[in-house]
Chains A and B, each alone.
Chain A
Amino acid sequence: MKEKQQILVSLNRHKEFVVTGPFVEMRERQGSSGPEKREPTESDKGKFLHPPEILTIEEVAQKPIDGLDTPKVLNAMADIGPEARLFVYRPEGKVTRHEIFEDPRVCLEIQRGAVIENLREKPKDVSGWRTHDFFIDIKGCLGDECGRCAIVCPENAIHLMGKGKGSFHEIDPLACKGCFICWVECVRTAADCILVDGKTFDPGMRAKHFGE
């Protein structure tokens, strides 16, 4: 007796989910034009918060803020001294709040609450960690069609250079710790164009990984 077929309640506009017994199969839903192709979009244009600015006397002097009586502000800050700060909060460009106060911090390079602003940070040089040098043969590399090595590199050391046919991947010498994982991936599944210490062939390493 044919199992009683049942359609699973689903929001999906392109696929139907047919239940037969314990199993579910996906079928094309009639009249669906298939998922519209969409590129990984730029970050969404949604509404976000805007952090307030905390300006020193020099910064205020260089870029006067419209909507503020700059000279009066500068005088007030001068009274407080070098550690005077101007707190300005202008989410949509227009100053909604401002306040002059003396920076309570003693060690000025440490942010309030030991907060770190990510974009101001420079990556640490970890090149000292590796014991071998790795270099990608530009011509051998498949460029943006492959990208295996970039996706498995624990250090995000491998970057895509260029676009289209002439593109290739390059290892950032400051970031690579020499873990061989990119080499294994390239040899196994891609172009086998990563040179270890300048050599493409290393009998011991190949034997270990591929039993040759």
Chain B
Amino acid sequence: MATVLAGNGAAAWGFRLSRVQCYPYYPITPSTACSEQISRWVHDGAMEAVTINAESEHSAASQIIAAGKSVRAGTATSSKGLLYMIEVLENAAGGGVPCGLFLGNRATGAPINIWADNSDAYAMRDSGVIQIFAADGQETLDSIIQGYRIAENLRVRLPFAVNLRGFTGTHAYEGVEIPRPEEVNRYLPPFVSLHPLFAPEKPVTYGAMLSAYPYRRHKRNQMAALSNACEITLKAGQEFAEKFGRSYGHFEWIGDKKADLVVALLGESASAGEVATRHLQGKKGIPGVALLKIRLFSPFPAKEIAQALHRAGTKALVVLDEGLHHGGVLPPLAQRLTTAIQLYLGGKGPKVASVIGGLGGSEVRQEHFQLMFNLADNIAEGNPYRPEPYWLDIEEDPIFVERENQVSPKLWRKWGEVWKKQQRKEKFCSPIPPDTNEIRIYSRAGQGAITSAVGFTGAGIQNGYQLLTVPAFGSERRGAIITTDTLLNFHNERRIRSFMRAWDVVILYDDTILYSPEHQVLDGLKEGGALLVNTSHLSVKKIREILNVGQKKVRVLTVPAEAVSERLGLKHINMAMLGALHKVYDKVPFEPAQGYYEKNVPRPREKSLEAIRLGFSETSDREIQRTRKESRLTVSQEFRDWRPEDHSQESWPSALEEVQLG
């Protein structure tokens, strides 16, 4: 039964199930959560391992390499942390230490950027480490287990690294199957060191100083072992499929078997590509299209990929790189694919165009893939194309050009002719109809919106749907307005992990967000969608006024979540909002979800469940009555109406007369 895990959590389970015995760590966004989870398990005694609170990634890497000579070791890092480690990682590959790394891919270099791209993975290509790219939490968990199986194989004995895109991968919560430990133990035998340090009967020396002759022969052996890893990765993937039902290989071919147009890329961005590919498949006037999601990046399965492209009869291949070529001819993935095609298919292979996108957390959306397939189609027709990389989302340097002045003049001088031949075809760029439900939560950091969204995801999964929750992260601290998006896919025959940004429900965790200039909460809200606001004093009419909803067919509902939480003595309003969400969005039924919540809501459990029920019942779209403040005086109305007596003359007989004297 799937458990809701973020990418980091899945990686932590990967290490735990592989029974890692030494886990030094150093925190770095976005992979920190993996180390936090393992520390929690070790400190609770749920995982038997020794953790070291290293003072830098450089030391953490030194420690896994030293410990890796005696026990199974692993750690997690990202971006600059990995760059610190590269100085030492050579010793792992050179010393035959099969330790494991989990990398939450994140941009490196200046300027600092905490969001995702592959520049850290590309930087470690020459450290001799096996590199596997996972596309989601499940693949990460499975790849770590397979990683140790591959690395410790006697024909390899090299370190491995599993890469997962930062935030959209590491912080995306989704259903992950956690295999049972005894099954994993059968798949992955315990660690045996070939040259243990703690064996007096065979004292050994690691890292001796070798002069030229022994050095080059050692390097020859090392490269031989690395190339073995290619075949062994395939074998490990197939064995994993037999035991656990999920098959893995060097790459994944999505779309038509016979595909003239192919887009190739690494990792998690492929989820948007799948949707675009399925949308274009079989459309009139569109040749065979396919998405080549490459999993094993180093050692690069050049022959296998070349043969696959040849079997598919591909005419044009567009390669998306989420990293830069830094003076090379093409970015790394494009360069490797071009070389593979040139070496194994000679002149008969497809033409290759290179596209750079997704840098520093830039989104790789579905329309980008439509553009790339369109480019591939033009190339397949023999139109000229740029030998140097194209760029996504750069206004001055687009892939297709309508008007000349739209492009920066110096580029027009260089590629004007090519652009003229490349025209944008509507049949590729028709909008993709949404076939998933999406919910967006606007909240303030620290209000616990993510906890409630993850709870909802769990309930949805228990109900048999496929859900994905991706919180938007930045350097904002407590109080800033953040968004958390949840996607529900009802067709369980295919996984969808890409957002259409068309919301069925928008939730505001407090009414002050209505006034925030940068957050147009109604953007993207579908016709007939619902807007849920947590407020105890704004009426529905007032909210419609503030947002000048006018006649748009949008349901507006309010829930006094603060009051509910206060009544129960809960610090956060997220449980009440969870109940409110069930009231507004009924596809995930409320009653069965209770079963899930009983076991998975934060403590104090009883109050949280009560808050969910109250949130559900107190959500309404009617006006809220203002409670009259009852008066505290204990004295009769008659007392209050008393007034001093009027003694004017009318009320008593008098003979007095007005008279004018003198």
Contact = CB atoms under 8 A, between A and B. Distances in A.
Interface of A: 43, 48-52, 54, 85, 87, 89, 97, 99, 101-102, 104-107, 109-119
B108 to A, nearest CB: 29
A106 B195 contact: no
A115 B97 CA distance: 11
B146 to A, nearest CB: 18
A49 B205 contact: no
A113 B210 CA distance: 12
Nearest to A113: B96
Interface in B134-176: 153-157
Interface stretch (B213-221, B259-267, B444-452): B213-221
B218 A117 contact: no
B155 A104 contact: yes
A118 B228 CA distance: 29
B8 to A, nearest CB: 31
A104 B221 contact: yes
A113 B193 CA distance: 12
A43 B199 CA distance: 12
B204 A114 contact: no
B285 interface: no
Contact of A112 (B192, B194, B196): B194
9 contacts: A48-B199, A49-B196, A50-B199, A51-B196, A110-B221, A112-B96, A112-B195, A114-B94, A119-B203
Interface SS majority for chain B: loop
A115 B206 contact: yes
Q: 4 tightest CB-CB pairs across the interface, nearest first? A: A113-B96, A107-B217, A105-B221, A49-B196
Contacts of A113: 94-97, 157, 194-195, 206
Nearest to B227: A104
B53 to A, nearest CB: 26
Nearest to A118: B203
B197 to A, nearest CB: 8
A116 B203 CA distance: 9
Nearest to B205: A116
B477 to A, nearest CB: 46
Given A50-B201, A87-B154, A119-B202, 4 more contacts: A97-B189, A106-B221, A114-B94, A114-B95
B607 to A, nearest CB: 50
A49 B214 CA distance: 28
Given A51-B193, A51-B196, A51-B199, A116 B221 contact: no
Given A97-B189, A104-B224, A114 B218 contact: yes
A99 B96 CA distance: 18
A109 B214 CA distance: 9
Contacts of A49: 70, 193, 196, 198-199
Nearest to B221: A105
B208 interface: yes
Contacts of B153: 101
Interface of B: 70, 94-97, 153-157, 189, 192-196, 198-208, 210, 214-215, 217-218, 220-221, 224-225, 228
B224 A110 contact: no
A100 to B, nearest CB: 9
A114 B214 contact: yes
A111 to B, nearest CB: 7
A116 B153 CA distance: 21
Given A49-B199, A104-B225, A89 B214 contact: no
A48 B199 CA distance: 6
A87 B208 CA distance: 25
Given A43-B200, A48-B198, A115 B95 contact: yes
Contacts of A107: 217-218, 220-221
A106 B206 contact: no
Contacts of A110: 214, 217-218, 221
B594 to A, nearest CB: 49
A99 B154 CA distance: 9
A112 to B, nearest CB: 5
Nearest to A85: B154
A86 to B, nearest CB: 10
A106 B192 CA distance: 23
Contacts of B199: 48-51
A36 to B, nearest CB: 26
Nearest to A50: B199
A87 B152 CA distance: 13
A106 B216 CA distance: 11
Contact of B192 (A97, A114, A115, A119): A97
B156 A115 contact: no
B96 A48 contact: no
Nearest to A120: B202
Nearest to B154: A101
Nearest to A54: B194
B204 A117 contact: yes
A116 B196 contact: no
Contacts of A50: 199, 201
A43 B208 CA distance: 26
Contact of B228 (A104, A111, A114, A116): A104
Contacts of B220: 106-107
Contacts of B204: 115-118
A192 B224 CA distance: 59
A112 B210 CA distance: 14
Contacts of A99: 154
A95 to B, nearest CB: 12
Contacts of B189: 97
Contacts of A52: 192, 194
Nearest to A121: B205
A111 B192 CA distance: 16
Contacts of A48: 198-201
Q: A54, A105, A106, A110 — which one has the most chain B CB atoms within 10 A of its CB? A: A110
